[in-house]
Structure 1
């Protein structure tokens, strides 16, 4: 057996040292492999750690890929000034496209264009896929068999979501969908807006 304090410290250190979100199974089969610990007890420890960090500048969160430490989202606008040259800039057009994919997935490019009323540039779709936020999950059984796009686990991780069910509910058919995603990505300085009909990312 391991003392409660040492167990919490070990789990905290393991999550902190990991380069990517850590799952319960990874913790149980890795750093905790030598201890008799079940999943409910481990979840309890993780919940206790969340409480410990509730008033701190960083927080322990569960995302789609597991648990990780991250800076608090409300501190993002200030923290981004530490790395002014590293923050990618994306257009509002890209975020609106991403939002439509997130809320309507799986969806074709043509369906996205029908809602937005403008064409979606090839570069926007390429950027979303290169960023790892969107992938092709199949093809629609209609003439031409257009690709169906959906969000990825990397998208959920980036926006601190456990699943697409965590996305806020939409009250209108087409609200300003991109605002929630832009807000969540403030630390990446993503408020550049596109102006062309055939928009750029």
Structure 2
């Protein structure tokens, strides 16, 4: 039996509905050039204000039904050329990002930034890499990869950072939990999908992964990692 609807819930739903009704999406009274400009500014405002990437369905709520979101984004990105930030497509939506060329300046300023993720130890980072490549994967399988037990504290740290979520139960005896990466993982590392992960061969060439035998014997190493 569902819980009774409260007055505050009704007010919140009514407020949202009223906002949608009051917002003139089509802007038919404006000349085409001004209409397009207003749609661009609305889309940029929504993306700028959002903490996470904004999907197409969300942006469609503030523009005309026949408006092309892709063309709007293209025009916005064209205007941002020469600026230290851009609109990028990550994790299924669009997000404001500073350009990589200015990362060193931002770090040197020591300014507090809203988009900075939690600092990970070398070992936590390597565990996250292993999960990203071999998910869904159990903690026991991670232990075989690293040649030592991966502690629950390490997994908890990655979960608290919103990089990991529980996957399906493993079909192995005891049906242990598996772990998978989250949408926030894609957002934090600027990827659209897991297909954007570097090829394992490229990581091998960089000395970050080495294989001994088959894929099950992948050994992940990190500079400065404790034995």
Question: TM-score, structure 1 length as denominator?
Answer: 0.77
Give the 5 Å matches for 1:114-153.
114-153=144-183
1:35-71 deviation line (CA, Å, top 9, x unaligned): 2324xx2111112222332432111011114111121
- CA–CA distance in 1 between the matches of 2:75 and 2:119? 36
Residue aligned with 2:178, SS: strand
Task: Tell me what 2:66 maps to.
Answer: 37
Q: Compare CA radii of gyration and give the structure with the larger one.
A: 2
1:155-175 deviation line (CA, Å, top 9, x unaligned): 111111111111111107865
Instruction: Specify every segment of 5 or more residues in structure 2 that has no aligned partner in the other structure, as ranges.
Output: 1-27, 210-221
Moved over 4 A (4+): 172-175, 191-194
Give the 5 Å matches for 1:111-190.
111-171=141-201, 175-176=207-208
- CA–CA distance in 2 between the matches of 1:45 and 1:115? 46
- CA–CA distance in 2 between the matches of 1:173 and 1:144? 33
Instruction: Specify every segment of 5 or more residues in structure 1 that has no aligned partner in the other structure, as ranges.
Output: 178-190
- Cα distance change, pair 145–55 in 1 and its aligned pair in 2 (3 A): same
- CA–CA distance in 1 between the matches of 2:51 and 2:120? 25
Number of positions where the alignment pairs a residue of Structure 1 with one of Structure 2: 177
Question: TM-score, structure 2 length as denominator?
Answer: 0.69
How far residue 7 of structure 1 moved from its aligned partner, in angstroms, is: 2.4
- CA–CA distance in 1 between the matches of 2:82 and 2:160? 35
Q: Does 1:63 align with 2:93?
A: no
- Cα distance change, pair 22–169 in 1 and its aligned pair in 2 (3 A): same
1:144-201 deviation line (CA, Å, top 9, x unaligned): 2121111011111111111111111110786516xxxxxxxxxxxxx99553x5xxxx
How far residue 91 of structure 1 moved from its aligned partner, in angstroms, is: 0.8
Residues 53 and 90 in structure 2, CA contact (< 8 A), matched pair in contact too = yes
User: RMSD of the alignment, in Å?
Assistant: 2.6
Task: Tell me what 2:214 maps to.
Answer: none
How far residue 17 of structure 1 moved from its aligned partner, in angstroms, is: 2.4
1:63-112 deviation line (CA, Å, top 9, x unaligned): 1141111212332233132239x874321100000000001111111221
- CA–CA distance in 1 between the matches of 2:120 and 2:224? 8
Q: Does 1:91 align with 2:118?
A: no
- CA–CA distance in 1 between the matches of 2:202 and 2:223? 25
